Structure 1
Amino acid sequence: MKRKILKMLTAFSFAAVLTTSFSAVGVANAKTEQSDEISCAAKSAYVLDFDTGTVVYAKNENEKLPIASMTKIMTASIILDDVKAGKLNLSDEITVSEKAAGMGGSQVFLDANSTHTIKNLLKAVVIASANDAAVALSEAASGSEEAFVKRMNDKAEKLGLSNTNFVNATGLPALNAYSSAKDVSYMLKNLLSHDEYFEFSKIWLEDYVHPDGRKTTMTNTNKLVKFYQGCDGGKTGYTTEALFCLSATAKRGDTRIIATVIGEQNGKQRFKDVSDLFNYSFKAYENEVVVRKGENIGKTVKVEKGKQSEVEVYADENVSVFKKRAGDDNVEIVYELSDSVKAPVKRGDVVGNAKIVKNGVVIKTVELKAADNVGKENFFDTIRRILSNW
């Protein structure tokens, strides 16, 4: 199938952009727009743009460190993966085991053998970092916490998180449990792809209502959802080994930033450092969306032997450029479309891609897909087409 290449030279002044697929290649190739204007007190830190993956700041980002309850980012991600796949439903009720009910640390004090919805347990994990809820969910999803941990490590490998190893679903202290600021940032990036996550992550205060009517007040451990404009998600962590940790996200306009710090000396410092990292990112950069996800790009592809002769094309995700506000880079967008496709065509069929090219280097690729269903022409359609061409 031949392709035609259409170039659109932008008149914008763009900074570096990066494609970040959830693969080993995408994580490894993250490009840094490092600045000496910012710093933080954490042992390790990482800041990136959500849409393009451009790295704004990095400090010891690959150092293997304990991450405490930030582990639950992966726990929540797998549960929502299973919901998306239809393996679990948020309304499903599950029974809490003795093991789950007996977990120490942060918890919502679940009773053994009580039943709870997956939605409520997930909410307790996201808001209150509840260890008992995390273990209950892991057992519901995989039969045992041990089997669930294997899935966590398998997914980490799939995402290209080479400096990560999970030992439990909670982040409680354990030998050989570690991750890095960079890996945690990509974990959170993956979790943010689930819209359901934001139903819970923005809640500041809520009561957990137990089956017997008992209530446990949950306060979001991520104070930035209340005190930082635009912050709508994230996960804290603390143990004596990990010290104070935070991976959080904030969005202003079309720009969403993820910032992670590990090993802060106190809770106040982790929130200050992440706030400062957000402030710098929003002040120095902006994310300009050239084509929005689901938006037709104004181009068509010919359909052979179809009920219509061509089909419109849309972008599978945002085609966006993360740029320095004072930057001066020229970028061209290259559309590579198939010369033609054969009917039948289904909406969502890949018919090409859009590439953002900076200084001759492809820095982001987005799939372009058919915007409509096009059926195969029948005998009468063929006759009409032939007659119309006479």
Structure 2
Amino acid sequence: MKKLFILLTTLSLLFISTTFISANADGIKNLSKSAILLEAETGTVICKSNEKARLPIASMTKIMLLNLCFENIEQGNLSLDEDITVSKNASGMGGSQVFLEANSKYKAKDLIKSVIIASANDASVALAERLYGSETECVSVMNAKCVEWKLDNTLFSNCTGLPKPTQYSSAEDVAIMLKHLISHKDYFSYSNIWMDEIKHSGDRVTGLTNTNKLVKFYDGCDGGKTGYTSESGFCLAATAKRGGLRLISVVINSPDSKSRFNEVSNMFNYGFDNYTSKMVIDSSKPLEIDVKIGKSKNDKIEIKPINDVFVFSKRNEKEKITIDFNPIEKCAPVSKGEKVGELIVFRSGVEYKRVDVVTTCDVQVKTYFDYIKDIAKNWSL
């Protein structure tokens, strides 16, 4: 067997240590009944207040519906350009709506856009019926997803967030739902749009204005979901990114609309002022590594990690980060893009994260003529 041995010098650097808050941060005054701030990649909680309380969350319910929409798109079960016929049931939904016409067709992407930007109940039900045949079946899948994600303080009774006595969630669970949602690449194509429109049959147009005002007025905010009913109070789940650091913040039952935006902004400010996320592995930068393969014509190969790795930590405190390379045995030939090992990031000696490493070129088998060249080269020495 021709074995691949890749040698990589261990990298060492000083980096910021991690001292996370488990209670409400100093200087943050929450008027809401429940709140949380976390780092998006790892899910590390920075500050929280009554984060597990079961409360109505109004239209933040749609975060779970949107997760299902994007999952179905990625699985090939729904196309953004697909025409969806709106039922009379969907068009008749009350509350926030974009006034869809019964028996008319709309692109899936326009319905999704209407849910994300304008919190449209009619578009939500139209999507639920398209995906699962009925809103009831969609709700069953939403609740099954809660079990899968261990959202122990969430139960859905509809896909819109309209008031139901048996429907609730928590700031912690909503933050986890939003964390999943922002992992879908198509989500940000809609979430940071401030104003848009949806076209109906004829010349009728409905204007859309993002209910999440932070996408316009907070630097770095590019997504989230608002909610309001008299039962839930004013709610907001939002995400913002500056540099390599992405945060998620959720408040439930703020006393007024201005308060929810101020509370989330203040939590974001605290997070960005006191924490950082440093890139320690850059997937855009290939590494040239010495390699020994029994019958390979390559003395060195170029490899690269498949993902970036960031380390989230508190500012101004230091710890040691080391990165080791763990090679795996391979038989030549090795194809471009084939996994040849993994990089392992350690924080103060404790494993933090692993990322696969692949080749950027083919590793060819040494031919008879290559052996002749090697013999001639060695003889000349």
The 8 Å contact of residues 51 and 318 in structure 1, kept in 2 or not, is answered as no
Q: Indicate the SS of the match to 2:330.
A: strand
* Match of residue 148 from structure 1: 138
CA offsets per residue over residues 64-91 of structure 1, 9 Å max, x none? 2221111111211221122222221111
- Measure the CA separation in 1 of the matches of 2:261 and 2:226: 10
Output the amino acid matched with 1:357. Answer: F
Residue 165 of structure 2: SS of its match in structure 1?
coil
TM-score by length of 1: 0.86
Taking structure 2 as the reference length, the TM-score comes to 0.88
Alignment partner for residue 54 of structure 1, among 38, 41, 44?
A: 44
Q: Could you say if the C-alpha distance between residues 297 and 41 of structure 1 is closer, same or farther in structure 2, counting changes exceeding 3 Å?
A: farther
Distance change (3 Å), C-alpha of 1:243 and 1:47: same
Match of 2:281 among 259, 282, 291: 291
* 1:351 counterpart (324, 340, 343): 340
Percent identity at matched positions?
43
Larger deviation: 4-13 or 156-165?
4-13
Listed one character per residue, the Cα deviations across residues 246-279 of structure 1 (whole Å, up to 9, x for unaligned) are 1101111222111111121111111000000011
Tell me, yes or no, if structure 1 residue 44 matches structure 2 residue 34. yes
On the 8 A contact 1:125/1:133 being kept in 2, the answer is: yes
Q: Does the CA-based 8 Å contact 1:291-1:315 persist in structure 2?
A: yes
Secondary structure of 2:152's partner? Answer: coil
Structure-2 separation of matches of 1:307 and 1:5 = 17
Q: Is this contact kept in 1: 2:283–2:307, CA < 8 A? A: yes
1:361 aligns with one of 347, 350, 359 = 350
Q: Distance in 1 between matches of 2:6 and 2:148?
A: 33
Aligned ranges for residues 86-105 of structure 1 at < 5 Å?
A: 86-105=76-95
In structure 2, distance between residues paired with 1:256 and 1:197: 15
After superposition, where does 1:290-369 map in structure 2 within 5 Å? 290-299=280-289, 308=298, 311-338=301-328, 340-343=329-332, 345-363=334-352, 365-369=353-357
Alpha-carbon distance between aligned partners in 1 of 2:36 and 2:288, rounded to the nearest angstrom: 37
Query: CA 1:2 to 1:202, structure 2 compared with 1: closer, same or farther past 3 Å?
Result: same
- 8 Å CA contact retained: 1:255, 1:286: yes
Q: What 5-or-longer segments of structure 1 have no aligned partner?
A: 18-30
Which stretch shows the higher mean deviation, 104-113 or 136-145? Answer: 136-145
Aligned residues: 372
| CA pair 142-385 structure 1, distance change in 2 beyond 3 A | farther
Alignment partner of 1:12 out of 8, 11, 14: 14
Deviation at 1:298, TM superposition (A): 4.9
Matched residue, 2:362: 374
* Pair member with larger Rg: 2
Deviations 1:140-194 (A, max 9, x none): 1222222222322333333333332222221122233222212211211211122
Instruction: State the AA in 1 paired with 2:325.
Output: Y
Q: Which moved more, 1:57-66 or 1:94-103?
A: 57-66
Q: What is the 5 A alignment of 1:15-164?
A: 15-16=17-18, 32=21, 35-164=25-154
Structure-2 residue corresponding to 1:179:
169
Worse-superposed segment, 206-215 or 300-309? 300-309
CA RMSD of aligned residues (A): 2.7
CA distance in 2, matches of 1:355, 1:171: 42
Tell me, which stretches of 5 or more residues in structure 2 are unaligned? Answer: 376-381
